[in-house]
């Protein structure tokens, strides 16, 4: 199943071992939880660093999902990088 999410800004967990795999959860308040599975902890860490802009700024993504909200492929279509003024306004408005 292929899904396009417009405003995706996930919180990403540290890798944890489960069933001889390393899992990383992407948790979005609106869309729910998604899981990425890796064979080694190094692959999982690389994925986390690769998704850093998405965690900080949010963006538009296309996900190919299989049963249980497991991500088979994640394509970042656009990263919303706000201006410095927008970041400062957001920081001080909360």
Domains of the chain (ranges, CATH numbers):
2-93 (2.40.50)
> How far, in Å, CA of 38 to CA of 78, rounded?
24
> What pLDDT does 93 receive?
77
- Within 10 angstroms of residue 77's Cβ, the number of other Cβ atoms is 12
pLDDT in tens, the chain (94 residues): 999 999 999 999 999 999 899 999 999 988 899 999 999 999 999 999 999 989 988 999 999 999 989 999 999 999 988 888 887 887 787 6
- The answer to whether 28 touches 37, Cβ cutoff 8 Å, is no
> How far, in Å, CA of 50 to CA of 61, rounded?
14
């Amino acid at each position: 199943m292929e899904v396009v999410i417009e405003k995706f800004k996930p919180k990403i967990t540290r890798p944890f071992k489960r069933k001889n795999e390393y899992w990383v959860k992407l948790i979005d308040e609106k869309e729910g939880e998604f899981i990425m599975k890796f064979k080694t902890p190094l692959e999982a860490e690389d994925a986390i660093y690769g998704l850093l802009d998405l965690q900080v700024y949010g963006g538009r993504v296309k996900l190919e999902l299989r049963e249980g909200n497991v991500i088979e492929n994640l394509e970042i279509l656009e990263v919303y990088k706000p201006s410095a003024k927008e970041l400062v306004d957001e920081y001080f408005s909360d």
